[in-house]
Amino acid sequence: MVFESIFGRGEAEEDREEFIEITTEGEDRRRMNIRIENLQDYRDVEGVQRHLREGNIVFLRIKKLKERDLGELKRSVERLRRTSVAMNGDIIGVDEDYLILTPPSAKIYRGEVEPKVEVE
């Protein structure tokens, strides 16, 4: 240390920067993918379920099936709803032509406000 200060090879004590390492415990660093899929018939439900089980958020277009066969659409949506409930996911209709399905790691905010507690 003495030699370094004499010959100028070291840094002066006040010039050194201190770094603090911050750990990010509890953060989920897993990527969340959003899949955009089309529901054209009942057979497409299996693919949507697979994406949901893989942990993807699915943005599902249902317009074509709705226009073609309303009964098949109802059957498809009910099967997707049961899958979503069984895996603690979430499902919501957006407009009349879209559904959003989420895995358990993501929830859909519906604008519900927690009740305020009044303090007297």
Q: How far apart are the first and last CA of the chain?
A: 65
Residue 57 within any structural domain of the chain: yes
- Identify the domain containing residue 94 by its residue range: 34-102
Domain count, the chain: 1
- pTM listed for this prediction: 0.66
**Average pLDDT per run of 10 along the chain, which is 120 residues long?**
56 57 58 90 94 94 94 95 94 92 89 66
Residue 3 within any structural domain of the chain: no
Q: In what order do the strands lie in the sheet with 57-61?
A: 34-38, 57-61, 98-102, 90-94
Integer Cα distance of 53 and 19 in angstroms:
41
Residue 46 within any structural domain of the chain: yes
CATH number, domain with residue 45: 3.30.110.150
Cα 1 off chain centre by: 53
